[in-house]
A and B are shown apart, each in its own frame.
Chain A
């Protein structure tokens, strides 16, 4: 009899003290692993509105890298047709001008990318071109970052990034589009 009573008393208690810990563990696990549907994209800063368009014809021709995208989604870069695949390398060469060629940008700070599209251009093509232009700059920044600090651009400190951007500023000027093919 005595034995039985003893076993009953013992089985009544399960230690629930650690339950809270388990619950918190689960909570934290889900908090960390759940990705809320996030929005990613290409960040762009538009120029403030002004009635008159900036005149890029006044600029030295060698410093302007004009990219035109027509209504059939074809590229015309500085008067020459080009495919989007070659755009990135070509842009990089234009900005940095490693061979100091006469017809490419004097120096990176003076380089201006002029992007012009048509109202009939596909958004997909436009974004692809924009992406390539931005990628060209990112690759230059990465290379410069490696050269100066041994790190890619995104790992630099805020000041280092600012200095780098001062030497190689991202200047993409967008002209009013032509209105063919809408």
Chain B
């Protein structure tokens, strides 16, 4: 019995802080892993349509994005309200696509280049004219793998 009684007389114990760095590192790694570095600020209003036949894009580094949609209200005074295209973080025209693709390509190791996919994030209300021009330009540049970005819809 006396053994148990001894323990009762506890004073506030010192908490061992040896593992505190570990926890901090853990948090650091956690945020490093989960944070998506948004390399471009979206200046357009893009609501992708819904679809059911979706494929996940696996390798982020092999994907480049083309955005199409109406400029956000704060840019409308400068760029108007008709649908515009955004490459990287700036408004661009269809003629800028080859250079944009080339810039992305040199960052990808040579062996993986055939897997490069262009993801088109296009607002549902855009008309096909501008999209057709983009597609034609992509075909001319030899970028044939496309992804029409869409959000899942329950069937």
Does A39 contact B63, Cβ atoms closer than 8 Å? yes
Cβ-closest chain B residue relative to A37: B36
Most buried by B among A13, A49, A179: A49
Contact with A along B131-155 (1 / 0, CB 8 A): 1100110111010111111111000
B33 CB within 8 Å of chain A: yes
Contact with A along B42-57 (1 / 0, CB 8 A): 0000001101111111
Interface residues of chain A: helix, strand, loop or mixed (majority): mixed
B102 CB within 8 Å of chain A: no
Most buried by B among A13, A36, A43: A43
Instruction: Kindly list chain A residues whose C-beta atoms are within 8 Å of the C-beta of B140.
Output: 49
Does A44 contact B148, Cβ atoms closer than 8 Å? yes
A85 CB within 8 Å of chain B: no
Does A41 contact B149, Cβ atoms closer than 8 Å? yes
> How many A residues have CB within 8 A of the partner chain?
55
Known: A23-B22, A179-B129. A43 touches B16 (CB 8 A): no
A36 to B117, CA, bound (A): 19
A24 to B25, CA, bound (A): 11
Instruction: Kindly list chain A residues whose C-beta atoms are within 8 Å of the C-beta of B131.
Output: 123, 126
Does B9 contact A7, Cβ atoms closer than 8 Å? yes
Instruction: Kindly list chain A residues whose C-beta atoms are within 8 Å of the C-beta of B135.
Output: 46
Does A38 contact B57, Cβ atoms closer than 8 Å? yes
Does A14 contact B148, Cβ atoms closer than 8 Å? no
Instruction: Kindly list chain B residues whose C-beta atoms are within 8 Å of the C-beta of A13.
Output: 13, 16
Known: A46-B144, A123-B123. A138 touches B13 (CB 8 A): no
Does A135 contact B52, Cβ atoms closer than 8 Å? yes
Does A14 contact B15, Cβ atoms closer than 8 Å? yes
* Minimum Cβ distance to chain A for residue B90 (Å): 21
A20 to B18, CA, bound (A): 10
Contact with B along A30-43 (1 / 0, CB 8 A): 11001011111111
Known: A48-B144, A179-B129. A12 touches B6 (CB 8 A): no
Does B49 contact A128, Cβ atoms closer than 8 Å? yes
A97 CB within 8 Å of chain B: no
Given A19-B22, A124-B49, 6 more pairs with CB closer than 8 A: A11-B10, A38-B57, A42-B53, A46-B139, A47-B139, A120-B128
Of the A-B pairs whose beta carbons lie under 8 Å apart in the complex, a sample of 29, sorted by A's number, is A4-B9, A7-B6, A7-B7, A14-B16, A16-B16, A19-B16, A19-B18, A23-B22, A31-B33, A39-B56, A39-B57, A41-B120, A41-B148, A45-B145, A48-B139, A48-B142, A117-B128, A119-B128, A120-B129, A121-B127, A121-B128, A122-B124, A122-B128, A123-B123, A124-B124, A128-B49, A131-B52, A177-B129, A179-B129
For the complex of A and B, 8 pairs with smallest distance between CB atoms: A124-B124, A119-B129, A19-B19, A7-B9, A16-B16, A49-B139, A41-B149, A41-B147
